[in-house]
Structure 1
C-alpha cells in the first residue's frame, strides 16, 4: 500500500482542525485592550491546543516517513487518531469559554488521553507491518515519553475536580516535554535512507 494518500488526508484533517479552533475565537466588540481581557482564557486554551496539534503533525510526519509500508489496519488506526484529534476544537472551546472549570479540564484530558492512546496504537500497527527489526521499531525503542505522557494525562483527569491547577500543569508539562526536539527517528532515517533515496546517490 502507498502511504501518500494517508499523509495527504491526515495533513488536510489537521489543517481543518486548526482552522476550526481559530474560528472559535470571536472578535471583541470593544476597541481597546480591556475588551481582550475576557478572551484571555480562550486564547490560552487555543495556544495550548495549537501546540498539541502541531506536535502530533510533526511526529505523525516523522512516523510515516520512517515506515516502509502500511496496511489496512494502519489506515484504521490513523482514522482512530484523527477521530480523537478532531474533538480538540470542541474540548478547547468549552474549556476556554468556561475559564478552565473542572469538568472542562477533565474532558480536555480525556481527549488528550484518547489521542495519546490512538497514536500509541498507530505506532504499534506500523511496527507490526514493518517488523520488529525495522528502522521504525529501532527508532521508537521503549518510547518512554509516550508512556509518561499517558500517565500524566490520567493524573490530570483525576485531579481536575480536586486540584484543577494541577490538571492544567500536567497538560502543559506534556506539551513542553514534546516541544523538546526528539531526534530518534531523524537519526535512524539518516542511518537507514529510503531505497529511492539510495538510488539517487
Structure 2
C-alpha cells in the first residue's frame, strides 16, 4: 500500500487542527493595548499548542518519509494519533480561558501524554510493517526523547495540582526538547541503498 494518501490525509487533519485553534481566539472588546491583556493566557496556550502541532507535523513527515511500507495497522495507528491531536484545540482553549487552572492544565497534559503514546504506537507499527530492515528502526535507535517525554507529561499532570507554573514549565521544556531538529531519520535515509 502506498503512503501518499496517508500523508495527504494527515496533513489535511493537522492543518484543520491549527485552523480550529486560531479560530478559538476571540478578538477583545476594546481598542486599547490594555484590552489585549486578559487574552494573554489564551494567546500563550495557543502558541504552545501551535509549536506542539508543528513538532508533530514535522516528525510525522520525517517518519513517513522513512517508511517504505504501510499496513492496515499503520493506518489505524495513524488515526489514533490524529484523534489525540484533534483534541488539542479543546484542551488548549479550556486551559487558556481558565488561566492555566489545575484541571484544564491536567487535561492538556493528558492529551499530550496520549498523543506521545499514540506517536510511539505509530512508529512501532511502521517498524513492524517493514521488518528487520526498517530504516526507521535504525534511525530511531533507543529514542530517549520519545521515552522521556511521557514521563515529563505525567510529572506535569501531577504537579499542576500543587505547583501550576511547574506544569507549564514542563510542557515548554518538552516542546523545546523536540524543537531541536532531529537529523537521525534524514541521515538514515541518506545512507540507505536504493
User: Same-fold call, TM > 0.5?
Assistant: yes
Report the equivalent of 2:134.
134
- Name the SS for the 1:26 alignment partner: coil
Aligned residues: 194
Cα deviation 1:101-157 (Å, max 9, x = unaligned): 000110000000000000000000000011133211000011100110011001011
Distance 1:28 1:159 in 2: 31
Cα deviation 1:65-107 (Å, max 9, x = unaligned): 0010010000000000000000000000000000000001100
Distance 1:67 1:148 in 2: 24
Distance 2:107 2:124 in 1: 26
- Name the SS for the 2:132 alignment partner: coil
Distance 2:71 2:78 in 1: 11
Report the equivalent of 1:199.
none
Q: What do you get for the CA RMSD once the two structures are aligned?
A: 0.8
Q: Structure 1 regions of 5+ residues with no counterpart?
A: 196-201
Q: List structure 1 segments (4+ residues) > 3 angstroms apart after TM superposition.
A: none
Distance 1:127 1:18 in 2: 28
TM-score, length-scaled by structure 1: 0.95
Q: Structure 2 regions of 5+ residues with no counterpart?
A: none
Distance 1:28 1:157 in 2: 30
Report the equivalent of 1:75.
75
Distance 1:40 1:165 in 2: 15
- Name the SS for the 2:70 alignment partner: coil
TM-score, length-scaled by structure 2: 0.98
- Write out aligned runs for 1:1-201 (5 A): 1-192=1-192, 195=194
Distance 1:29 1:172 in 2: 30
Report deviation, 1:163: 1.1
